[in-house]
Amino acid sequence: MKIKTVYTSSLCPDAVFMALEIIKRMGWCHDEPDENGDMLVSIPIEDEHLFDFLDNCLFG
């Protein structure tokens, strides 16, 4: 497992909800966003390329 950080502070509430739905559907464990909007996500190593794709498309 790898721990990745999703920065949600620049996202609108609907985008944060969508990101959480994608993370849940992928079966990845996550923390709720903290006061800075950072959210830790645990992903399997074999899903790292999927996370990187989502990071570039949604979170970046």
Q: What are the tens digits of pLDDT across the range 3-43?
A: 999 888 888 889 888 888 999 999 999 998 888 888 999 99
Torsion of CA 2, 13, 8, 55, to 10 degrees: 60
CA-CA distance, 17 to 46, in Å (whole number)? 24
Please report the pLDDT score of residue 13 as a whole number: 87
Q: Containing domain of residue 34, as a range? A: 2-59
The model's pTM is 0.77
Sheet strands (E) in the chain: 2-7, 29-30, 38-43
**What is the pairing mode between strands 38-43 and 2-7?**
antiparallel
Please report the pLDDT score of residue 12 as a whole number: 87
Confidence bin at 60 (pLDDT 50/70/90): low
Q: How many domains does the chain have?
A: 1
Please report the pLDDT score of residue 56 as a whole number: 84
